[in-house]
Structure formats: C-alpha cells, structure tokens
Structure 1
Amino acid sequence: MSKFGELVNLEIPVLLDFYTEWNEASVKMHPVLRDVAATMGEKARVIKIDVDKNTQLAEALRVKGLPTLMIYKNGEMKWRESGEQDADSILSKLNEFQ
C-alpha cells in the first residue's frame, strides 16, 4: 500500500485503470488508454492495475465494476467512474485537474 501512496501523490493527475484480462470492457479500454497516455504525455500519468494481482488494493478502494477509472492528484482522489469511457471524456477530466 505504501507504493500506492507514492504512485498517486504526484502534482500531475494520475489516472488509474483497474482491469482484468478476462473482462471484455476492460480489454476494450486498453487502446483508449494508450491514446490518452500518448496525448497527455508528461502532463498526466496512466497506470493500469490488474485487479487479479492486486486484490487487497482493489478491495480497499471498493472496486466492484470493471473497468474502474480513478484520477488522483496530490494523493487525493478527484474523480472515479466505472465502465467503458471514451478517450475524449477521459482527456477532458484529466485536463480539469491540470
């Protein structure tokens, strides 16, 4: 969990994607998030978290639906949404927290 604190305690927005490889909606989000990461460059960070490999973290954050996306900045959760999202919506949210 201490590593998690280091990941999200940045001055730029950090987008977390909680996913599994067996969840179709999660897999569909992979190319969308690649595009988001490429567009944002150094202005934001995109981190994928496999729920199957990080069950404690997923439980602590009450991740139920997949994919679940969260934006953190300076260690504080700013936004959270479950389900598929399009790149424009995600980029718009990230830009809100610049």
Structure 2
Amino acid sequence: MDTQIMAASALSGANIVFLAALTAVWIRNYRTFRTSLVLGLLAFAVVMLVENAVALYFFFTMQSLYSGDPHVQQAVLVLRGLQLVALTFLTYVTVR
C-alpha cells in the first residue's frame, strides 16, 4: 500500500474515532432533549461514520483503485485531512 493511501487510512480511522464520540454525545442529548436538530446531528454522524468505514474497507481491499494515479492519492489524502480538521472543530465545540 502506498504511503499516501496509508496516511488517508489513518485519517479515516481518526475520523471514525471523532465520529463515534460525537455519536455518543448526540445520542445522550437526543434522549434528553428529543429535538429534531439533535436528531439531524445524530443522522449526520451516523452517515459520516458509515462513509469512513466504507472508505477504510476500500483502502484495504481495492488498493488498485487508488494506486494507479498519484494525483488521486493526493486528493484522497487532502480530503480526508480536511474532514479530520472539520470533525476536530465540531468535536471540540460539542464536547465543550
């Protein structure tokens, strides 16, 4: 596996950790408040969690999909990094 795809896999793993924390907080909040806003946040977290899990699956099982073009690998890495930055901010303000 190429270095950039390994880094993207690690970022997806970190995204999953943040999303699991967000999901736990939002489940607790939904049980308390029962508002559609919290339900929407919970749905967002679950969808993003599934997306990152599927991405990890593809990184490890379909390496040839990403290994052909270094520009694609770089784009995947940058997008996973941006997602991590966004989830870091969102987790920080949610847990705070």
Instruction: Give the number of the structure whose residues are more often strand, by fraction.
Output: 1
TM-score by length of 2: 0.32
TM-score by length of 1: 0.31
Greater relative contact order (Cα < 8 A, sep 6+): 2
Instruction: Give the number of the structure whose residues are more often helix, by fraction.
Output: 2
